[in-house]
Amino acid sequence: MKTFLIKTLGCKVNSYESEFIRNILLDNDYMEVEDHADICIINTCTVTNTADNKSKQVINNIKKNNPNSIVVAMGCFCQFKKDNILDYIDADIIVGNKYKSKILDLLNEFEKNKKRIIKFDDMEKSIFEDMEIKKYVHHHRAFIKVEDGCNNFCSYCIIPYVRGRVRSKDFNKCIMEINDLSLSGVKEIVLSGIHTGQYNSDGKRLSDLINKISENELIKRIRLSSVEIVELDEKMMEIIKNNNKFVSHLHIPLQAGSDKVLKLMNRRYDKKYFKEKCDEIRSYRKDIALSTDVIVGFPGETEDDFKETLDFCREIGFSKIHVFPYSDRSGTVASRMENKIPGNIKKDRVHRLIELSNTLEKEYFNKFINHEVEVLIEELKDGYYYGFTDNYIPLKLKGDYKINEIYKIKLTKEDINFDMN
C-alpha cells in the first residue's frame, strides 16, 4: 500500500482542498502517514513574504529528506511564481490553483512517464473547481469551500492574481455536500472562501445558502470563516438577528483603523461605516464575538495613523485581532508606493497591537465566567477535552464528555484555554 502525507499552509480554503485530496487518496487505497511517505503533497500560501519563504522551505526540505518520494507542490505560492518556479523549488509535480482535484491523474501520469509535470491555468478565466467531501478525517468542524477568487484588488493583496475572479459553487451541490457531511456526524459547518460574502449561485446569495442549511436538523451550528463588513446586507442582518443556528461569532477584516490608510489600501468602507455596522450587529446580538485582521506598517502609515488604529480597535472592542506586518507583494499597487515603514517600527507596532488584542480577548472571555455556555467537544488529549463555544471561546475541560457532542456548561476561568491564543 502506498503512503502519503499532506502539509497545508495558509487559509481555510487550502485546508478544505487538502481535505478533499486526503479523502480521494484514502478512498483509493493510499495510507496517510506523518513522515517518509511515498507521496508528499504541499499545499502552499503566498499571502506574505513569510508565507513564501515557508512554502519554499517546506517543499525543499521534504524533497531533500524524501529523495525517493514523489513530491507534489501546489497552490498560491506556485501560482505566484509560475513563470520561474524551478528557480525556487524542487518538486516532481507542480501545479497552481487549478488541477488540485486531478491529483490521481497527475500521480498516474508521473508514475507512467517519470517526467516532471508543471501545469498552470490562467486564473482570470478559471471556473470554479468542483470538489466534494463526504467526511472529515481529523476534524469535527467541517470547512466547506463555497466560493473562490476575489474582485476587490486591495492595493496590498496578491490573492486576486493567484486565485482569480469571484466564482461560486453550485447551490444544490453545496447543500448535497453538507447533507452528506451531516450524515457522517458533522454538527458544525464553516462556510469558507477567498471572499465568502460574494457567494452567488444563479442569484442565490450567502444568506439563502445559510437559511437552506439551517433546515438540516443534524446541523447545529453554521459559521463563516470570514466576511467583509460591506457584505453584511439586510438579509445577512436578518440571519444574525433571527437564525439560532448561526453562531455568535463573526470574523470581519478591518485592516486599518485610519481612514487615510483605508483609502490607500483601496478598502471599500471608512471607520464610520464599519462602526455603524458593528453597532447594528450588537443591537441584535449584544455579546457576539467580533474578531478581525489588521495590517500594520502600511506604506505611509504614521505613528498618529497607528494610534488611530489602536484607539479604533479599543472602541469596537474586538474579541481578537490577528496582526500582520505589511509585506510587499510584487505586482501590487502598494509595492510601488513610497514612504515604506522600516522593519523595526513595524515590529514595534505589531507588538503593541498584539498586546491590545490579548487585553481585549481576556476582557471578552471574562464576561462569560459563571455564565452558561454551549461547547462542541472536538478532541481528547492528555486527559482534557477541547472544544469551542459558539462565540469561539476555546475551552479545556475535565470531566465526562463525548467527542463531537454539544454540552451546556457553567463556565469557569479554569475552563478557558488561553494557550490557544
Measured in Å, how far apart are the chain's first and last C-alpha atoms?
39
Q: Cell digits for 98? A: 487549478
Beta bridge partners, 387, equal 377, 395
Task: Indicate the length of the chain as a whole number.
Answer: 421
| Beta carbons of 137 and 184 less than 8 angstroms apart | no
Same fold? 124-247, 268-365: yes
Res 35: pLDDT? 85
pLDDT tens sequence across 354-364: 999 999 999 99
Res 73: pLDDT? 97
pLDDT tens sequence across 30-86: 999 988 899 999 999 999 989 999 999 999 999 999 899 999 999 999 999 999 999
CB half-sphere exposure, 267, CA atoms < 13 A: 26
Query: Comparing C-alpha atoms, which of 355, 275, 267 is closest to residue 315?
Result: 275
The domain locations on the chain are 3-121, 124-247, 268-365, 372-420
* Consecutive 10-residue averages of pLDDT for the chain (421 residues): 95 94 95 93 94 96 93 96 95 95 96 95 86 84 94 95 95 97 95 96 98 98 97 97 98 98 98 98 97 98 98 98 95 95 97 98 96 95 95 96 95 89 53
Helices (H) and strands (E) in the chain, counts: 12, 20
Res 420: pLDDT? 66
The residue assigned the cell 491555468 is 121
Res 412: pLDDT? 96
Amino acid at 91: A
> Under 8 Å CB-to-CB from 206, ≥6 apart: which residues?
146, 191, 196, 197, 199, 227, 231, 236
CB half-sphere exposure, 65, CA atoms < 13 A: 10
The secondary structure of 236-270 as a DSSP string is: HHHHHHH-TTB-SEEE---B-S-HHHHHHTT-S--
Q: Which CATH architecture has domain 124-247?
A: 2-Layer Sandwich (3.30)
| Beta carbons of 11 and 45 less than 8 angstroms apart | yes
Reported CATH class of domain 3-121: alpha beta
Residue 377 backbone zone (phi > 0: left; psi -120 to 50: alpha; other: beta): beta
CATH 3.30.160.60 fits 268-365, yes or no: no
CA distances from 80 to 121, 172, 351 (A): 12, 32, 29
Q: Cell digits for 9? A: 499552509
pTM: 0.93
Q: Cell digits for 128? A: 470554479
